Structure 1
């Protein structure tokens, strides 16, 4: 059921609770609870009012949550006890999506649930989200945080294998050390998105990464600014000896260019890869078989990078160069073709 959080919501909740009570077994039940105002138009008072409205509904119709397997919430400022209460009531919950939801700026969200398999947390003001005890969690998507420190902590997540983390890092946000940030989690599929802003991961010694990257098979480095060099990405190859596929997505646009607007948004004034320098030592990778580069151009940094990976990956089988940029639909690049990509056979041979 997909509905707006309003005065008529109580009827929907009561009807759902009655329907659930009348059935012997409900296999799949999903609530997508929307707010009248979109996230960008929601003031702190709006979010607080929406949070109180949802809390009241939980008080009035707790049975409506008892059989939920999927729950999507947006634009809510909830009380400190509301999230733990929702987790307790939704005993069968397998999928949780939170978009612009928190408990106030700088709050801490602790997540514990016996059945939750997929968690998505987007655009929150949480200081940190602690994945304390999630024995069934397999998939995590997390994006856009304001925290000055590590925005996530990984506790007991033994089944976690797919992680997607995206952030247009602000000038004051720290560089994350993946060896520390991922904690005890050993994922096999990792996506890091930079939203055309500064690189926010710190290149590390492969000996530090070997524990958290021991099962890594697929890496997707997304929305890298065209301003950035690509050499820093080699540290992931060095730290992930079992990696089989590496996908690089470069945006051939500058994102927000207006200096005043960048300053107001808190974006860095330095080069977007200023803190991501890496001098790779001579080594060989035995398992990488696929390299994909989206937004490829016949420039030295692309060609040189591809040659470097070919030299490193001794068993490389497939290389895909995609001219089409990896930018989203709203990117100003869409509809504009680059004139830097080789158009002739000679040009392709030269590249």
Structure 2
């Protein structure tokens, strides 16, 4: 299999995922809307596959359709990144909409089967136990009641046509015998999506007691004569220890592990066994230390809040999107020639472009943080130009040194089209200066749009904007927003409606007083 041209998963048909959404029966139970999320993720996976394949089939030699191909490639290059971001944003919006809808009970032939605490509140014919749901405050009794109701529900189910199987309840290793049977049911039913969320509501899953009693996900349920149909696996508060030659997950396309006990070697086994894996997310996996990702067709990698992590080394020739959020670690992009977008958030530590950045010929967008309050000179003078970068997102704590760091970064990205700066809401960490020596030789002729969030007329930020007005000769649009924003999935910014309204009004008035006089007449100013 060519690393640059990943094939779709076995038995894949282009319309399957849309048909999944149409086949969702009226009797299906929405649960926590994760089934809706995973079906939408199917569309995401399909689009990612289309993106990668389209890039690779663009011919480089002589062809009668070469002109059309070049035009198509140009349109794709301009739209693919924004299209992906819009789809990921829509996933969050649709998730929230689904969560707010009324929950519905699973029918016997439902393609989506969700087992959560709502079945304790439903006195329906599928649950034959005589115990009153929620009558006791004892968690052990509630767990026993939940297990009994699940047992009755699965016994009444035909066991076929289950495409999405979910468990959302705070169980642990003490309930392994029951959980194993449920996972076995999902496997024998041919479920394509399996979610095991054993986090107890309202209780942190990071304690030692919880870690020691985590449920060990049964690999043997997906090993047998018939190859497993599972394509998406989501585990929360479990143990996952795949072996090197585990064949049960060869059809896996998406894997999401959150608060899961897993070691560095287990991740390497995953990369070896899951040969068509496209999307991998590892969150709060605290046993990871020196993580190495080696995979030929992985497209999206997200790693966040792994407490003991020291280093990440990536060998992924098809990887297009990488995101890291957590404490400072060493990240080595050993082989990532198809990288499109990088998001690195090192807590309160300033970040910079990676040393092996020039090997990423497709890179277009980065999200970096400049959050150190130190007044020491820590910005890097880049000796090379990064001509592929077109979009830069920066989350900064306004200070004179951070403002200077931004200008040196922009000097190294002369083909930048869009710049976003989000000012941190912490106290201002700078001393007033009447003059700053900005670097010379900055050329931003391609820059068309600047967006500023968290604007409070911070002196370094106002001075930085004045500097940019002088070098961005073809700037068309400047947006200033006093609201603060959070950086979400793939660098998307989501507004926070927090803070003092009067302070935001003052910031708007300050923008009119400090920015408008410096603004060229050709630039459109929008103040949110």
Q: Tell me the alpha carbon deviations over residues 292-321 of structure 1, each in whole angstroms, 9 at most, x when there is no partner.
A: 111223454333221210101122121111
* 1:238–1:123 distance in 2 versus 1, CA, 3 Å: same
Matched with 1:220 is 393
Q: TM-score, normalised by structure 2?
A: 0.51
CA contact (8 A) 1:31 1:71 kept: no
* 1:205–1:80 distance in 2 versus 1, CA, 3 Å: closer
Which is greater in Rg?
2
Q: Tell me the alpha carbon deviations over residues 247-300 of structure 1, each in whole angstroms, 9 at most, x when there is no partner.
A: 001133349xxxxxxxxxxxxxx879xxxx984124322211111111223454
Matched with 1:16 is 186
* 1:327–1:344 distance in 2 versus 1, CA, 3 Å: same
Matched with 1:53 is 216
* 1:216–1:344 distance in 2 versus 1, CA, 3 Å: closer
- 1:162 equivalent among 341, 349, 355: 341
Matched with 2:285 is 101
- 2:207 equivalent among 43, 52, 59: 43
* 1:331–1:282 distance in 2 versus 1, CA, 3 Å: same
- 2:411 equivalent among 230, 235, 238: 238
Q: Tell me the alpha carbon deviations over residues 26-76 of structure 1, each in whole angstroms, 9 at most, x when there is no partner.
A: xxx4444434258954124533553x713xx22443445332211111112
- 1:130 equivalent among 313, 321, 330: 313
Q: CA deviation at 1:244?
A: 0.7
Larger RCO, structure (CA 8 Å, separation 6 or more): 1
CA contact (8 A) 1:191 1:221 kept: yes
CA contact (8 A) 2:397 2:423 kept: yes
Q: Tell me the alpha carbon deviations over residues 58-97 of structure 1, each in whole angstroms, 9 at most, x when there is no partner.
A: 2443445332211111112324432222233323221111
- 1:91 equivalent among 275, 282, 286: 275
1:184 and 2:359 correspond: yes
Gapped regions of structure 2 (runs ≥ 5): 1-164, 231-248, 488-493, 519-528
Gapped regions of structure 1 (runs ≥ 5): 22-28, 256-269
How many residues are paired up?
A: 308
Matches within 5 A, 1:170-319: 176-180=351-355, 182=357, 184-186=359-361, 187-193=363-369, 198=373, 202-208=378-384, 210=385, 213-222=386-395, 224-226=396-398, 230-254=403-427, 279-319=438-478
Q: TM-score, normalised by structure 1?
A: 0.74
Coordinate RMSD, CA, aligned: 3.6
Matched with 1:340 is 506
- Give the Cα–Cα distance (whole angstroms) in 2 for the partners of residues 330 and 289 of structure 1: 22
- Give the Cα–Cα distance (whole angstroms) in 1 for the partners of residues 290 and 408 of structure 2: 32
Bigger Cα displacement from structure 2, 324-333 vs 235-244: 324-333
